[in-house]
């Protein structure tokens, strides 16, 4: 018992002597002031170093233990293993960093684990994991993970996972996932998954999956899927699936599908399926199917099916509708059309089958109960069962 007391007393005495020495000399290094083991605020040291608060440090290599963060180490370089009870910090940190919060004023490289957060004011590279948040003010490369958020103010590449949000202010390349939103302010390439939304303000190439919305402000190339809406402000190429809406402001090509509406403001190419409406403001090419209506403002080409109506100014290919197939005034229909009422307010080149068939000009055959051709001779303008005219 007496021996334990003596050892404890000796240890306390040694610590008092040690910190008394440090208080006067700022640091105590063994065997030298630059190499070995150091206690205190040495500015340049290689080896095993213990300090409470780093201040005006220049360069540390080895194993560095600190108790608290200082704001006066913006140019310090620490390489090796950094452990802080509070927040190990320096201007440049390389190696393995562990602490309550790991922060580098400029660059963070290696493996960084912070109970609250981990990041850098400029760049972080490697594995950066923060209990609440992880990221960089400028660029992040590698694996970046935060329980609440992970991101970068400018660019990021690699794997980024945030509990609520993951993304960048500018460009992202790689894999990003979060429960709420994943994306980039400018361009994104790779795989982005968001519980609510996934996308980018400019171009996206790759795979987008958003619980409610997935898309790009400009161009989308690849696969996008969401429960509500998927699409792009300009063009969408690839597979675009939206629970309610799928579309693009300009051109959409590939395969697109939605429950309510699917289409493009200008041109639609490929296979388009919609529970209600499928179409394009200008031209639709390929297979266009709408549960209620399918068509385009200028022309449709290929297979067009509308549950109630299908039409355009110029129709080419095979067109079906339960209600009506319409070619507007001065338009045309080339190919085959079948509906209850085929109304071609222009020229028909091909075959139409319906209860009522109507065309201004005919170069082909009408089959139905009533068949009307405006430019036929008077005796052949309205005929039952069949009407025909060939130039």
Give the count of domains, the chain: 1
Residue with tokens 């028909």: 348
Q: Provide CB contacts within 8 A for 372, sequence distance 6+.
A: 356, 357, 358, 359, 366, 381, 382, 387
Q: Is 155 a domain residue?
A: no
Per DSSP, helices labelled H in the chain are 2-25
230 near 215, Cβ under 8 Å? yes
377 near 391, Cβ under 8 Å? no
Q: Is 78 a domain residue?
A: no
Q: Which domain holds residue 378?
A: 288-391
- What is the CA angle 218-223-226, rounded to 5? 85
The pLDDT of residue 22: 43
Q: Is 314 a domain residue?
A: yes
Closest CA to 178 of 133, 140, 217: 133
Q: What are phi and psi of 32, to 5 degrees?
A: -130, 175
On the question of a cis peptide bond just before residue 31, with omega within 30 degrees of 0, the verdict is yes
Task: Round to whole Å and give the CA distance between 253 and 263.
Answer: 10
Task: Round to whole Å and give the CA distance between 378 and 391.
Answer: 17
Length, in residues, of the chain: 391
218 near 202, Cβ under 8 Å? yes
Q: Is 181 a domain residue?
A: no
The distance of Cα 202 from the centroid of its chain, to the nearest Å, equals 10
Q: Is 138 a domain residue?
A: no
The pLDDT of residue 15: 46
Per DSSP, helices labelled H in 63-216 are none
- Both tokens of 220, joined, read 């989308």
281 CB-contact burial (10 Å; exposed 0-12 / middle 13-18 / buried 19+):
middle
Q: Is 112 a domain residue?
A: no
Q: Is 166 a domain residue?
A: no
Closest CA to 202 of 225, 186, 179: 186
Taking 3-state DSSP, the helix, strand and coil percentages for the chain, each rounded to the nearest 5, stand at 5, 70, 20
- Return the H-helix or E-strand segment holding 283: strand 283-290
- Is the whole model's pTM more than 0.75, yes or no? yes
Q: Is 258 a domain residue?
A: no
Q: What are phi and psi of 338, to 5 degrees?
A: -140, 125
The pLDDT of residue 190: 97
- State the number of CA atoms in the 13 A half-sphere of 379 facing the CB: 0
> Averaged in consecutive runs of 10 residues, what is the pLDDT profile of the chain (391 residues)?
48 40 60 89 92 87 85 85 84 93 93 94 96 96 96 97 96 96 96 96 97 96 96 97 96 96 97 97 98 97 98 98 96 98 97 98 97 94 95 81
Q: Provide CB contacts within 8 A for 45, sequence distance 6+.
A: 27, 29, 33, 34, 35, 38, 60, 61, 62
- State the number of CA atoms in the 13 A half-sphere of 260 facing the CB: 10
92 near 107, Cβ under 8 Å? yes
Task: Round to whole Å and give the CA distance between 223 and 231.
Answer: 10
349 near 333, Cβ under 8 Å? yes
Number of H helices, E strands in the chain: 1, 33
**Bridging pattern class, strands 123-130 and 171-178:** unpaired
**Bridging pattern class, strands 341-373 and 382-389:** antiparallel
Task: Round to whole Å and give the CA distance between 185 and 192.
Answer: 13
The pLDDT of residue 67: 81
The pLDDT of residue 3: 56
Residue with tokens 């009506």: 324
Per-residue DSSP letter, 391: -
């Amino acid at each position: 018992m007496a021996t334990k007391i003596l050892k404890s007393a000796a240890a306390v005495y040694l610590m008092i002597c040690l910190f008394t020495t440090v208080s006067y000399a700022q640091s105590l290094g063994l065997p030298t002031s630059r190499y070995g083991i150091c206690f205190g605020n040495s500015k340049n040291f290689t080896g095993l170093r213990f300090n409470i608060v780093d201040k005006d440090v220049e360069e540390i290599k080895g194993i560095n233990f600190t108790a608290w963060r200082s704001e006066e180490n913006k140019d310090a370089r620490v390489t090796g293993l950094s452990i802080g009870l509070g927040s190990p910090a320096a201007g440049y940190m390389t190696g393995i960093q562990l602490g309550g919060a790991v922060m580098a004023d400029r660059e963070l490289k290696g493996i960084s684990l912070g109970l609250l957060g981990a990041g850098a004011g400029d760049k972080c590279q490697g594995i950066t994991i923060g209990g609440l948040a992880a990221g960089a003010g400028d660029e992040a490369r590698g694996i970046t993970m935060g329980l609440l958020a992970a991101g970068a103010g400018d660019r990021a590449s690699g794997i980024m996972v945030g509990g609520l949000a993951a993304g960048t202010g500018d460009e992202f390349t790689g894999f990003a996932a979060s429960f709420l939103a994943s994306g980039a302010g400018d361009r994104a390439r790779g795989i982005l998954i968001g519980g609510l939304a996934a996308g980018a303000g400019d171009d996206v190439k790759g795979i987008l999956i958003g619980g409610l919305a997935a898309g790009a402000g400009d161009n989308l190339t690849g696969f996008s899927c969401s429960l509500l809406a998927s699409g792009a402000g300009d063009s969408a190429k690839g597979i675009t699936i939206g629970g309610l809406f799928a579309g693009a402001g300009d051109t959409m090509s590939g395969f697109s599908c939605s429950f309510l509406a699917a289409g493009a403001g200008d041109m639609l190419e490929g296979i388009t399926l919609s529970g209600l409406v499928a179409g394009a403001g200008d031209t639709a090419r390929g297979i266009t199917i709408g549960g209620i209506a399918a068509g385009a403002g200028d022309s449709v080409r290929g297979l067009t099916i509308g549950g109630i109506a299908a039409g355009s100014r110029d129709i080419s290919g095979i067109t079906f509708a339960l209600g009506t197939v319409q070619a507007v005034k001065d338009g045309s229909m080339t190919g085959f059309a079948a509906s209850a009422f085929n109304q071609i307010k222009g020229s028909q080149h091909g075959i139409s089958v319906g209860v009522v068939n109507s065309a201004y000009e005919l170069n082909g055959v009408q089959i139905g109960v009533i068949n009307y051709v405006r430019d036929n001779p008077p005796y052949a303008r309205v005929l039952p069962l069949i009407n025909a005219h060939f130039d």
